[in-house]
Amino acid sequence: MKQVFDLIIQAAPSRTTILINGESGTGKELVARSLHQNSTRADRAFITVNSGNLPPDLLESNLFGHVKGAFTGAVYPKKGLFELADKGTIFFDEIGNIPLETQAKLLRVIQEREFMRLGGVENIKVDVRIIAATNVDLRHMMEEGRFREDLFYRLHVITVQLPSLRERKEDVPLLVQHFFEKYGVENNRPDLELTPEALDMLHEYDWPGNVRELENVIERAVVLSTNNRIDVDLVPDHVRSNKSFQMPQFVVPPEGISFKDVITDFEKRLIESTLEAAGGVQKRAAELLHIKATTLNEMIKRYDIRPRRKRGTLSRPGTDLPDVEDIDEGDEVGAINRD
C-alpha cells in the first residue's frame, strides 16, 4: 500500500490517463479521488461514471450530451458529463462494462480531446483527465474481442494495482481503528476497542468483499455494541464460521499407519485449536465446529482435553469454570470441583 501511495503522489500532478486494477471493495474510487485531490485539478469537478448501469444510448447521452430533437424526448439540449468535467477529472468505474460502440467514441475523446453531442455536428473541445477502474482482466477481454485494443493501451499508460485485503492482513488492525474512529463519532461511541479474540477472527477471515466488507462488519459491531469493547459475539456468523483451514498432509510409511490413531489424534488437535480460538468457551467452540455442545463436551471428556486457561484459572476436562479472580468472596469454595 505504501507503493500505491507513492505512485499516487508521483502520478497525480500529470494529465496522464490512469488505470486502476483491483477486486471489488479494494478502494478503487478512493484512489481515483486521491489522484484528483493531489492534482492541479483539485478545485475542479470530479465526476464518476458508473459504466455498467445504463444502456448504450442513454450512456452516450449522459457522457456526450445531446442537441434538441436528437431522439424522442430530447426536448431541450443537454450538456454531457465530459462538458461538466472540463478542466477536471472523469472517473469510469468498471470500464470493462462499456459497450464496444461507446468505447470507440471514448477513444476519440482521449486522443483528440473533442467529441460531438448526440445529433450534433460541431466538435466540442474539452480538457478532461480520465481515470478508469476495473475488477476484470481487460487483456483477456481484449483477446476475446470484447474490449478495444487501442483503447486498452490508451488507458494502460500508468496502472495502479490494488492488493486484496487477504494479501495485506497486517493492515486489518489499522483499518479497524480507522473505522472505529469514523463510526464511533457518528454513533457517539468514543474509545472503542476490539478484544484479542475478535481481532483473531478478523485476521483469519479471507475478506472476499475486501475493505468494504470489513467496514460493514465494523459499522454493524459499533451500532449493536452495548459497551466500548467489541467481542466475538458482535462478529457476524459468516466471518466467525469461515476460518481459513488447510488439511494436514500425511505421509504413509512403508509399514502402514493406524487409521484409527490418525483420526483420533487429528480430532483431538482440532478440538484443542478450536477451544483456543473460542477463548475456552465450549458453546462457541461447538458453533465453530458446527456440532452440538453436548457432542463437543463428550469428545473433550473422551480425549481428556484440558483447555488452555489464563494464569490463575481453575479447570478440569469437560467443564468451563470461572477464573479465580471472578469468584466472589461469599461463594462457597467447596462448590468448585478441583482436580
What DSSP string describes 83-138? HHTTTSEEEEETGGGS-HHHHHHHHHHHHHSEEE-BT--SEEE---EEEEEESS-H
- Tell me, what's the pLDDT at 288? 81
Is the pTM higher than 0.75? no
The answer to whether 133 and 93 have CB atoms below 8 angstroms apart is yes
More confident residue, 135 or 335: 135
Where does 144-187 have alpha helices with state H? Answer: 149-155, 172-186
Q: Residues 61-111: pLDDT tens digits?
A: 889 887 887 777 777 888 889 999 999 999 999 899 898 888 999 999 999
Mean pLDDT within 172-184 = 94
Residue 314 pLDDT > 70: no
Q: Residues 231-282: pLDDT tens digits?
A: 999 998 888 876 544 456 667 777 788 888 888 888 888 898 888 777 788 8
- Tell me, what's the pLDDT at 311? 37
From residue 165, alpha-carbon distances to 48, 181, 193, 216, 251 in Å are: 24, 20, 21, 14, 34
> Band of the pLDDT at 307, cuts 50, 70, 90?
low
Mean pLDDT within 140-158 = 93
- Tell me, what's the pLDDT at 30? 94
- Tell me, what's the pLDDT at 72? 72
Domains of the chain listed by start with CATH number:
2-163 (3.40.50.300), 166-240 (1.10.8.60), 259-335 (1.10.10.60)
